[in-house]
Every structure is written in structure tokens, then in C-alpha cells.
Amino acid sequence: MPSERESRREIVLWGKMLHQRGFVAATDGNLSVRLDEHRILATPTSMSKGLMRPADMVIVDLEGHRLAGRRNVSSEIAMHLLIYRLRPDVRGIVHAHPPTATGFAAAGIALNQPLVCEVVIGLGSIPLARYGTPGTPELSDALAPLIPEYDAILMSNHGVVAYGDTLHQAYMKMETVEHFAQIALVTHLLGRQNPLSAQELEKLMVARSKYQGTKSAAALPIAMVCEGGNHHDGRQPAAPSTPSENTSKRRAGSRQR
């Protein structure tokens, strides 16, 4: 487990990456690391994620009370604390507004189609949580049912949150989400989507447990079924699917011809 000092440096590093990749603008976004059972190290509010220093970070307890640090903690800390409470396996969280994935979130479209095998293995499916005002229970209520089931979530009209057993893993998931959103956008532009079949998804599920010893909670994509062939608009309601719904939809998945 990384020391507090290492964790501060890691937040600086991945914050810079978020900024360099254009995943955040101005002072957007926030990152955090679970230091131990009671303490979370998080980014301060009102600071560019490209300009932070290790000493700028804030330590809070699981209720969000500041334990150390000169600055105020991110206003979106409640979302981080919710994830740490619901997912004891999570040690790092990244929240950002990458433009393509956030475009999907603003259009009300989940990234839940099995279009790319490696995304299925790495992340499963990326659902869309309904809109909630940042920093309010409304947002927590929208995210809570999805957090145990997925490792990255689109937040309607807002952005993306991704988390993992390290901050590094959480950041990588954020990159995968944005990259996959770009690919999904291209399929929308081409007017065709050719999702993986249910049989192929089964094989990927086997591969996934082999590769990852799968620590990932992420549910598999919903293989879309639509009448009239390959193309559909991919529009999904901004509401969580229950695991049982996922399972039945997963089984129903098939390649559209």
C-alpha cells in the first residue's frame, strides 16, 4: 500500500494527466485516494488539476470532515465518500469531464453496447446515472445503485467517475471510457453498429476472469437487440438497470444482421 507521501505524488501525477489529455477544464475534476480505514486524501477545490503540488491535498474522514490540509476539499467529495463506503475494494477515484464521454452523458446515451472486446474485458459496461445536482443527496441517490455493479459511470449532464483498487487503475479506466466514447461516436457517425454477439460475450467473460482474477465489479454490456438490423441510436434511459435486468438483457443479446 502506498504511503501518504506517495499518494500525494500520485494525485499530482494523474491530475496532470487529466489536464494534459483535456479531460478537465479550468478547475474541474477531482481525485482521491483511500489512505486507511478512516482517512481519504483528496484534491482541493478551485485548483487546476494541472497545477497541484503534493502539499495542496486535503485529508478528510469518511464523513468529509477535514483532518489536515490548508485548503478546502473538493465540493464533490460526497460522491467519493459514497463510493468508498459502498466499495471496500476501492482505493482510488477519478472524476472528470472528458468531452466525448461527457457528450454522451449530456445526450442521455449510456456506453453500454459491446462494440470493442477489450473494453468489455476491462470495464464491462458503462451505465448512465440520472442527473443530480453536484454535492447533493440527489446525485448520491442516482449513483448509489450503480456503484456496486460498475467501475465507471457516466453522470447525466455532468461527466464521468471511475474507480479502482489504485488511483492508477482508476485513471486508466477514465482513459478507457473516453477512448471508447470516441469509438462509439465514430460508429454513430458511420451510421452502423455491429455489437459482439452473446456467444462472443460469454467467451470474453471467461477471458476476463482469467486476466484480471477479476477484481472488477463491472457488469457486462447489454448486448442491444433491435429490430431491423444493425443500426440503432443507442439511446438508453438515464436510469440504472438492475442486475437482474442486465442478466436478462445480456442473455438476449445477439449480433444484428
In the complex, which residues of this chain contact Zn ion (CB under 5 A)? Answer: 159
Please, which residue, 114 or 159, has the CB nearer to Zn ion? Answer: 159
Our CB check for Zn ion shows the closer of 98 and 159 to be: 159
Shorter beta-carbon distance to Zn ion: residue 127 or 159: 159
Work out the burial of residue 62: count CB atoms within 10 Å of its CB; fewer than 13 is exposed, 13-18 middle, 19 or more buried: middle
Supply the minimum distance, in Å, between the C-beta of residue 23 and Zn ion: 11
Q: How far is the CB of 93 from Zn ion (least distance, A)?
A: 12
Q: Smallest distance from the beta carbon of 66 to Zn ion, in angstroms? A: 20
In whole angstroms, the minimum distance from the beta carbon of 158 to Zn ion comes to 6
In whole angstroms, the minimum distance from the beta carbon of 95 to Zn ion comes to: 6
Q: Which of 236, 18, 232, 22 shows the shortest CA–CA distance to 125? A: 236
Name the residue nearer to Zn ion (CB basis): 157 or 166: 157
Residue 131 or 255 with smaller CB distance to Zn ion: 131
Considering beta carbons, is residue 2 or 108 the nearer one to Zn ion? 108
Rounded-to-integer distance, Cα 61 and Cα 130, Å: 27
The residue whose Cβ lies closest to Zn ion is: 159
Round to whole Å and give the CA distance between 63 and 41: 13
User: Taking the complex as a whole, how short is the minimal distance between the CB of residue 75 and Zn ion, in angstroms?
Assistant: 9
